[in-house]
Structure 1
Amino acid sequence: MTSAAEPLLIRQARLAGASGFSLQDLRLRNGRIETLAEGGSLAAVPGEQVIEADHGLVLPAFVDLHTHLDKGHITPRRANPDGTFKGAFEAVAADRAAHWTAEDVEARMEFSLRAAYAHGTAAIRTHLDSAPPQHAITWPVFAKVRERWAGRIALQAVALCGPDLALDKALVDEIARTAKAHGGLLGGAISLFDRAEEAIGNLVEAAGRHGLDLDLHIDESGDPTSRSLTLLARRVLDSGFDGRVVAGHCCSLAMRPEAEVEETLALVAEAGIAVVSLPLCNLFLQDRVANRTPRWRGVTLLHELKAAGITVALASDNTRDPFYAYGDLDMMEVLRESVRIGHLDYPRERLSDWFAAVSAVPAAIAGFEHRGHIEAGASADLLVLRARDAGELFARPQADRTIIRAGAIIHPVLPDYRELDSVLGTAP
């Protein structure tokens, strides 16, 4: 392993930007990018290790804005019985009640973070199921794990509560206090719900009272009458809420009439709400009906949101749990599959701009210290790839990626699923 203090030169690297790709040399020193120069213009100095990128892409380390570390990897123990959202909700509730001790949650969180680190992620925001009494178990575990992973993966957490719980102002206040005590955010899941406006109002009010940012699951449904995103934008504007607001999923937006879409996009833009799309989970859950092929992809209006001036990020969401039975917290997979699912590859001149949706954009939304930019003075947290363009990048999993953290090449190993056998009670 290269020490963080040892200079490292990356030559002839292709960097993605809003206007396409550029060929650059990068000199890394003292954990930061010291110099950016025209490709091929920098010569190695004595004692400097050299990586010949040979026109391979270099990306900033990933930022995953929306995960569920507390749910991860329970599928072997509690599978979704029918693949539906209802089935997922009930399976997780049952597993949580039976198994989510501090030891169980911590072991699965640790496994997930080791996977994310091995894939090249530098920062993660996770939602934590926070309905009492689980909040008293999971939040202290998260605080412990966050401290242990400091310097490798920066962690944030959001207190997640369901719509029924959000109607109880006293419980919302208790959950908000727990999140506040641990430096977290307030969240909730509001989709097709006849009292959605009231629930959203309670969450916005509590966040404002406790000085918390908001990160909500919104309209995770294919029903065109699910309009919680509109309600959220109006509430933020009417209340004068001045914290940061993120809306996740927003699936039903793609099913609503065009006039309603235009109105909602204008409101979301005015309210300054950022949207995080979770294409892999939504592809898995949305429009799932037994013995029928799905008619839509479940993804929100990525192109239209961005065209309206709304900040859009892409993230992984669930990992091997009833809401999404697959995944490995690999943001390279998220980017690759999002491009395919959302047709982000055209127009061609805009494709490289979407790369920021898994790095610089979510970093800015969350305010992480790792900014996800490749520029002089930035932290030297990078991935060096053999792929030279988007075609090569998305054709393969990029399993041979070189990961650089704090200016040093690291060699993390993916954890073996067998390590979870004793935790899940699934050992042969």
Structure 2
Amino acid sequence: MKDSLNAIINARLQGSDELHRITMENDRFAQVTVQSVAATAGERELDAAGNLVVPPFVEPHIHLDAALTAGQPRWNQSGTLFEGIECWSERKASLTRDDVVGRAEQTLKLFADNGIQHVRTHVDVTDPTLTGLKAMLEVRERMAKIVDLQIVAFPQEGLWSFPQGKELMEESVRLGADVVGGIPHFEFTRDYGVESVQWLVALAHKHDLLVDVHCDEIDDPESRFLEVLAAEALRRDYGSRVTASHTCAMGSYNDHYCSRLFRLLKKSGLRFLSMPTESLHLQGRFDNYPKRRGLTRVPELLDAGLKVAFGQDSIRDPWYPLGNGNMLRTLDVGLHACHMLGMGWIDHSLELITDNGAAALDLKEYGIEEGLPARCVVLQGRSPYEVLLGQLPVLASVRDGRVLVDRRS
């Protein structure tokens, strides 16, 4: 990284047509002031040239332990979630520390190059050796200069349905996982799923950890573990620390049920994550026509005042063979799929890959304000509309007052 910056000049902030000067001291933002006219950059100043400057992108849901394994040991030919789990179960048997560390670090460098500085990764802990988890704990420390990494202990094959699932989760927490995960819709029975949700929330609450559950990642309208998760979060007053990932089944729920469900969701204050590219690929596989989109009710959740963020989910793994680390691509697909191309949605669209993701990760210091860590990205465009039109790489990425990425020349 280069020497620390003193300031970013000619910066355009969201919701303002004026240019701003953002000064930095001791790796934090010192002042954010309006410029009366365009300025010329001095020594250790970065010229944003009138482009939009926003907080760093947040990748709230990725599987780094599986990244870059597409086709190993075989391709997911059906394109279903369930064959993906089978392929991964076969690949998981050959995991080594060097294998996981190498692929994870390669992917995180790709993310950093795309302006992502905060990442939450799910790591499969239905592995008696916990090879992936132990490797990812090492990666968290090794990559701390370019990205903050949260680790979810994720029981890919179930807590109740996998031998020693609960014991492996408890060991993962002891080793240093940040977040407790779950996958209730994949448990053998509904009772198992309910019990797993209640148990994992209790475990997280006991250890003061966050929760992120793969919840109802299926088109089945009878898959209703979201209500269980929300009720547990509400009962413990823990909603702001609990994330429901995917909730694809909500796209198949009837409106009568959703009317009652939304009352609970608003009371609970859960965070929601939708992975549009992957859900569009994996869901609707059991439909003929019409085919469901397989996405949760993103605009309705936002209208209800709940926090929703978009994530990539996968980078070339058994579930999704593509992925390039560009959050603007994910945002574009999500806005299209969720019928959110009205200008009102577009004007606030960057929140889906910045502020709302930060809320899901429970980040206490995030944003462009005096006193906060000096972290931001310079985009190519003067407004969210222009940024979405181009979907061009970030011009610059600044972390703790130092330049990580600079494409201005």
State the TM-score, normalized to the length of structure 1: 0.86
Equivalent position to 2:13, from 8, 12, 15: 15
Paired position in structure 2 for 1:328? 324
Q: Mapping of 1:224-263 within 5 angstroms?
A: 224-238=221-235, 244-263=241-260
Q: Write the deviation string for residues 206-229 of structure 1: whole angstroms up to 9, x where unpaired.
A: 333443321100011111111110
Letter of the structure 2 residue corresponding to residue 343 of structure 1: H
State the alpha-carbon separation in 2 of the partners of residues 23 and 269 from structure 1. Answer: 36
Q: Mapping of 1:259-270 within 5 angstroms?
A: 259-270=256-267
Paired position in structure 2 for 1:3? 3
Percentage of pairs with the same residue: 27
Q: Is the 8 A contact 2:70 2:317 kept in 1?
A: yes
Alignment size in residue pairs: 402
The structure-2 alpha-carbon separation of the partners of 1:323 and 1:383, relative to structure 1 and needing over 3 Å to count, comes to same
Q: Write the deviation string for residues 87-118 of structure 1: whole angstroms up to 9, x where unpaired.
A: 11111111112x21111111111111110011
State the alpha-carbon separation in 2 of the partners of residues 129 and 329 from structure 1. Answer: 21
State the alpha-carbon separation in 1 of the partners of residues 60 and 40 from structure 2. Answer: 37
Q: Write the deviation string for residues 30-65 of structure 1: whole angstroms up to 9, x where unpaired.
A: 3333332224447558535351523x2222111111
Equivalent position to 1:148, from 129, 133, 142: 142
Equivalent position to 1:208, from 201, 205, 208: 205
2:85 aligned with 1:89, yes or no? yes
2:125 aligned with 1:130, yes or no? yes
Compare 41-50 and 376-385 and name the one that shifted more.
41-50
2:61 aligned with 1:66, yes or no? yes
Paired position in structure 2 for 1:426? none
Q: Mapping of 1:139-218 within 5 angstroms?
A: 139-162=133-156, 164-166=158-160, 171-191=165-185, 193-195=189-191, 196-218=193-215
The structure-2 alpha-carbon separation of the partners of 1:223 and 1:88, relative to structure 1 and needing over 3 Å to count, comes to same
Paired position in structure 1 for 2:344? 349
The structure-2 alpha-carbon separation of the partners of 1:276 and 1:243, relative to structure 1 and needing over 3 Å to count, comes to closer
After TM superposition, give the deviation of residue 297 of structure 1 in Å: 2.0
State the TM-score, normalized to the length of structure 2: 0.89
Unaligned stretches of 5+ residues in structure 2: none
Find the residue that maps to 1:191 and give its secondary structure. helix
Q: Is the 8 A contact 2:374 2:398 kept in 1?
A: yes
Find the residue that maps to 1:320 and give its secondary structure. coil
2:357 aligned with 1:362, yes or no? yes
Letter of the structure 1 residue corresponding to residue 303 of structure 2: A
After TM superposition, give the deviation of residue 406 of structure 1 in Å: 2.6
Paired position in structure 2 for 1:379? 373
The structure-2 alpha-carbon separation of the partners of 1:411 and 1:275, relative to structure 1 and needing over 3 Å to count, comes to closer
Equivalent position to 1:388, from 382, 400, 403: 382
Q: CA RMSD in A?
A: 2.6
Unaligned stretches of 5+ residues in structure 1: 414-428
Find the residue that maps to 2:348 and give its secondary structure. helix
Q: Is the 8 A contact 1:315 1:358 kept in 2?
A: yes
Q: Write the deviation string for residues 237-274 of structure 1: whole angstroms up to 9, x where unpaired.
A: 34666782110000111111111112112112212211
Paired position in structure 2 for 1:283? 280
Find the residue that maps to 2:331 and give its secondary structure. helix
Paired position in structure 2 for 1:121? 116
Letter of the structure 2 residue corresponding to residue 221 of structure 1: I
The structure-2 alpha-carbon separation of the partners of 1:385 and 1:294, relative to structure 1 and needing over 3 Å to count, comes to farther
Equivalent position to 1:29, from 19, 24, 45: 24
After TM superposition, give the deviation of residue 164 of structure 1 in Å: 4.1
Letter of the structure 2 residue corresponding to residue 271 of structure 1: S
2:45 aligned with 1:49, yes or no? yes
2:311 aligned with 1:315, yes or no? yes
